[in-house]
Amino acid sequence: MELNVNNETSKLLSVVLGIAKSTGPVPKIEECYDPKSRQHILNETYPKEIDMHCEMEGFATILMKHNVKVFRPDVLENYNQIFSRDIGFVIEDKFIISNILPERSREIEALSFILDAIDNKKIINLPENCHLEGGDVIVHNEYLFVGTYTGRDYSQIQTARTNINAIEYLKSLFPEKQIISFHLIKSNTDPEKNALHLDCCLQTVGKNKVVVCPEAFSNKNEYSWIIEHFGDNNILEISLKEMSNMQCNFFSISEDIVVSEKGFSKVNQWLRSFDITVEEIDYKEISKQGGLLRCSTLPLERVNK
């Protein structure tokens, strides 16, 4: 298998899409590791497996409609395998296996058939002290955007998934890329004060455009860099509430085709204003677990521009 991912928007050829089969029972509050799931458990609105399954199969249908080769993880009984982006990601021709939460460590086993098809020299296992999940990495041509949290309370913050050691390691892996780190707001209990991953508050799209939540960045100078880099006319800003509803977390099949939740009217209208085709689907049940469309994908190959 040949890997190739240099950005978020070039034409997609192949992808791993998570799966909602045998997801297990509703977690207990103490088992939650994101505030959105916690909120829905407390409200007794946690999503049902059948509803999540229907939403994910609808996403698979859209991908295949656009001639994307779709791989699905092997099913692990009573195990949540929806968010495949977290467990690994591709940069250029390298597959990087995330150092993920211990509770999710088995998920990579379900991709063994993918890893077996990749040149072993292209598979990167992170050092133990590097915490990194795929949702915190956005590939933008010569740039890598990486979300992080560096507070002294890192070990107490369940939603802090990527540390400074991982950023330094990425610099050593990709010395030719400019790595821009963004410090994100975090909360274990309030979804409107928590950017779980960078792709929950920033998403590149189309031709050098971006949807972003300014209040999700704890360092305002870092947000100023985004404005300078993309330009005001290429930025759609969303609120913390819109961020917590995952409105940054759409998914690009190409520069001209985006899959988005049908309830995101502001975002979808803005995308269409640039002649981007928006494939609207139901995905709101998935969002109750703190992720959405990008979170449930792991692109393997995109066409070079």
Residue pLDDT, tens place only, 111-122: 999 999 999 999
Residue pLDDT, tens place only, 199-238: 999 999 999 999 999 999 999 999 999 999 999 999 999 9
pLDDT at 169: 97
Residue pLDDT, tens place only, 245-262: 999 999 999 999 999 999
Mean pLDDT computed over 153-180: 95
Q: How many helices (H) and strands (E) are present in the chain, helices listed first?
A: 8, 15
CATH of domain 12-302: 3.75.10.10
**Does residue 102 surpass a pLDDT of 90?**
no
Give the model's confidence band at 103: pLDDT under 50 very low, under 70 low, under 90 confident, else very high: confident
Give the model's confidence band at 305: pLDDT under 50 very low, under 70 low, under 90 confident, else very high: low
Residue pLDDT, tens place only, 258-277: 999 999 999 999 999 999 99
Q: Where do the domains of the chain lie?
A: 12-302
Question: What stretch of H or E contains 149?
Answer: none
Are the C-beta atoms of 5 and 91 separated by less than 8 Å? yes
Q: What is the DSSP letter of 99?
A: B
Amino acid, single-letter form, for residue 139: V
Residue pLDDT, tens place only, 17-74: 999 999 999 999 999 989 999 999 999 999 999 999 999 999 999 999 999 999 999 9
Give the model's confidence band at 304: pLDDT under 50 very low, under 70 low, under 90 confident, else very high: confident
Mean pLDDT computed over 3-24: 97
Q: DSSP for 185-208? A: ---SS-GGG---SGGGTEEEETTT
**3-state SS of the chain: helix, strand, coil percent to 5?**
35, 25, 40
pLDDT at 114: 97
Are the C-beta atoms of 42 and 29 separated by less than 8 Å? yes
pTM score of the predicted model: 0.96
Mean pLDDT computed over 167-182: 97
Average pLDDT, the chain: 96
